[in-house]
Structure 1
Amino acid sequence: MALTVFFVIMTVAAYLLSRYLYFRYNNPLINIVLLSAAAIIAILVLAKIPYQAYVPAKDIMTFLLGPATVALAVPLYRNRHLLKQYGIAIFMGVGIGTLISMATVMFITRAGGLTREIIVSIIPKSSTIPIAVDVAQLAGGNSALAVAFVVATGTFGSVIGLTLLSWFKIYDPVARGLAMGTVSHGQGTAMALLEGEKQGSMAGVAMSLAGVFTSVLAPILIACFVD
């Protein structure tokens, strides 16, 4: 029990340090999730602590993801006027963005000659892990690969997403939040929320809608272009 408490404290400390560095230097390469995970892995490896010893602490923090996700309703409620103002644009934008994301990676992997299992597993990469795993498994993909692709997409998007939007001079908080939530799911939403409440609330909406669109559109794309 004491070791579990220590690991929870260690993880929170790694997060707080990474968050401080992110705001202190404002560098996209200082990604909070990536840096925190790297620090925890380094500590476990250097101290020769097996991952199984860390699992109880991981399970506690994973359980807290549920309440944290529900808590996204708070900034969304505060910015509910944006849903009324941009409702149709949000729905269409997230739908088109989700479709383009899946179609692009599907055609690239097909052109690269990858196996059907890999193609099917990577198509739902921009949705959350539970949705991506279910879509991949139902279509004959590999759940482990699906998880890996989702994590990689979220990490990559959270690292360069906001910077890329700034390069293209996209500064509107609604647009930035929707883009991050559509492409980079939970990790993108977390980074958007750090930038601002409007960005975070819109990213949360986009993440939810993207999951719905992925569940509906991914099987259609696979049936039409992969099978």
Structure 2
Amino acid sequence: MATEMKKINVLKNIKTSKTASINLCKFGDVKAVSKAKTIFPFTNDVASEVEIHTKLAKINLSPEILDFDTALHSITFEYLEGSNDVANYDEQFLIKLGKAIKKLHLVDFQDTAIGSFQQKIDAYRQIFLDVDDSSVLAGFKLFDSLYDSSNNLVFSHNDINVSNIFYGDDIRLIDWEYAGANLPIYDIASITKSLKLDEHQTEIFLDSYDKKFDTSKIKSFELLISQVEYIWQKALNLTTN
């Protein structure tokens, strides 16, 4: 079911891929972004994304949903002012980012219809049941070695990278397709890997997050993230060909 419809005028295409077509648009008189999703077994559906946005927009962690249509797998959300060019980040950015991720991980998700990262990995396993790929198998093996308990799960973005961090007065995140319950270190490692943080920068970020993580464990999760990215790309190819 969609919300009350207003006329959407597409201004230009931002990005088109196997997962979504994303356009800059006007929603009525409001500058906005529209996204038409392709749904996969390992991604959140539109209803889940809307629920996530609704909860997180209240605490300035995501853009506000303006319109959606679950039948068409489409979402329209507010255009974020600010920059997502965080290549030249400074100490203030790292401090804000640490506080934002901490705020995300403290969100109560028990009343939210989201799955876990474990369930997304299980969806990948089903796709690769009859595929013999040593890199995929290595990724699953590493996951199993790092996830020996389902305790201490938090609400996690699961795909934080430089392209979906918007930096202005607040830090807000986009692209919640893979969000769900996960260990907090997964988001931490996603950030240290994507931003290529050195030891000093990592210390600033973690001080702001207000928790210490073992450096070797972060490196192990960075490796897992690289392997999950490989698995994701292979799964995408298998399910769209």
The verdict on a shared fold, with TM-score over 0.5 as the criterion, is no
Pick the structure with more strand per residue.
2
TM bracket (short chain): under 0.3
Pick the structure with more helix per residue.
1
